[in-house]
Amino acid sequence: MKSAVPAPGEAKAKIDFRCLTEDCTGVIEFNLREIADRDFQAVCPVCHRAYALDAALRDKLERMMKLIEALRNSEDILGDSVVSVNVAGGEVRVPYALLLTRLNTLITLNLGDTPTDFHLWVEPSSPETFR
């Protein structure tokens, strides 16, 4: 079983979603690595509703963590990559690393039968990313 605390140099990612209880304003958040723990439950800090993640949802979140780790391992390549947007009169080049650290990342997955937006917060890349 993997520890929820990342080893030095490993990517850190937090994920959160709004509580599905009617009239509750709680936001449930946890470290994405925590889902590897068999006994993991996400609990609303406001109404204390517990959310047990089924195998399919856990699998998707575990693969998301692997994707984050792959991006982290490719940081040197991504530092040289840009996304080009064609505009009137030319193009705008946006460094890929800037997109990864400045845009909000959402993944919509089903919690039971309810499509739910999960917000993903990834530790900013190293200072060397922005040359």
Q: Which two structure tokens, joined as six digits, stand for 40?
A: 């993991």
Alpha helices in 15-95 (DSSP H): 55-73, 75-78
- The string of pLDDT tens digits covering residues 4-43 is 444 545 567 888 999 999 999 999 998 888 887 878 889 9
pLDDT given at position 113:
84
Q: Tell me the whole-structure pTM to 2 decimals.
A: 0.68
Rounded Cα distance between 54 and 59, Å, is 9
pLDDT at 128 over 50: no
Structure tokens at 126: 């190293």
Relative to beta strand 90-95, strand 82-87 is: antiparallel
* Structural tokens at position 65: 């963590």
